[in-house]
Amino acid sequence: MENESNGIIQNVVQYSAGGTIAALGYQMLSTLVGDLSASTSTLATSASSENIDSSDGSNNTMDSIKTNNVLTKSMAWLNWGRRSSPTQYSSSGFDKEHSLPLFTLQDVTFHDMHHDCWIVLYDRVYDVTSFLSSHPGGDEVMLEYAGHDATLAFRSVGHSKEAEESLKPYLVGILVESERIWTRFSNMKSDIP
C-alpha cells in the first residue's frame, strides 16, 4: 500500500513538473509569436498609413518598410557584419604608376550606401561620399551606382570638362588589371578624361 501511494505521488510530481515545463515552453513561444505578430502589424500599419499620407503621390511603402520594422533592424546588424570587412585596405596590391591601392569590383560593392559611397569611373575607384550632397545632378542618380561601375551613366549625361576635372580629389584606387575595360586596350585610352 505504501509502495502504491509512493508511486502515485511520484507520478503526480512528474506530471506537474512536466506540466510546468510545458507551460513555460508555451509561454516563451507565445511571447515570441506575440512579438512577431506585433511587429508585423506595426509594419502593415506604418506602411499603409505612409502610403495614404504621401502628399507627392509616390509609393513610400518600401521606404517605410526599410525604416520602421524589426526585420530591417536585424538586417542592419547583418550588414554591420558585412561592412566590417576591411575593404578600405586593399588585399589586391598597389598600383605603382598612380601610387594608389588596387581594388576589385567586389571590394567596391561593399561601399554602396549614402554614408559610404564608392563608384568606378574609367577603371578608377572614387570615394564620392562627401560629394553626394553637392553633386549638381543630385545624390539620387549617383546613389543608383553606389558600389558599382558608373562610367556609362557618367558618359551618357555628357558631363563637362569641369565635371571630369572635379573627379580628381575623390580618387582612392585603381581597378585590378583583369577587371579593367577602358585602360586595358590602347585604342580606348584616348576616350578617357
Q: Are strands 100-103 and 171-175 parallel, antiparallel or unpaired?
A: parallel
Grid coordinates representing 8 are: 502515485
Please report whether residue 103 would count as binding ligand HEM according to CB under 6 A: no
129 binds ligand HEM (CB under 6 A): no
Among 163, 171, 172, 180, binds ligand HEM (CB under 6 A): 163
Among 13, 38, 141, 188, binds ligand HEM (CB under 6 A): 141
8-16, 41-49, 99-107, 145-153 -> range binding ligand HEM (CB under 6 A): 145-153
Return the residue of 11, 40, 85, 160 that touches ligand HEM, per CB under 6 A: 160
CA dihedral 144, 78, 102, 146 (to 10 degrees): 10
Ramachandran assignment for 96, one of left (phi > 0), alpha (psi -120 to 50 degrees), beta (any other): alpha
Catalog residues that contact ligand HEM under the rule CB under 6 A: 119, 126, 128, 131, 135-137, 141-142, 145, 150, 153-154, 157, 159-160, 162-163, 166-167, 170
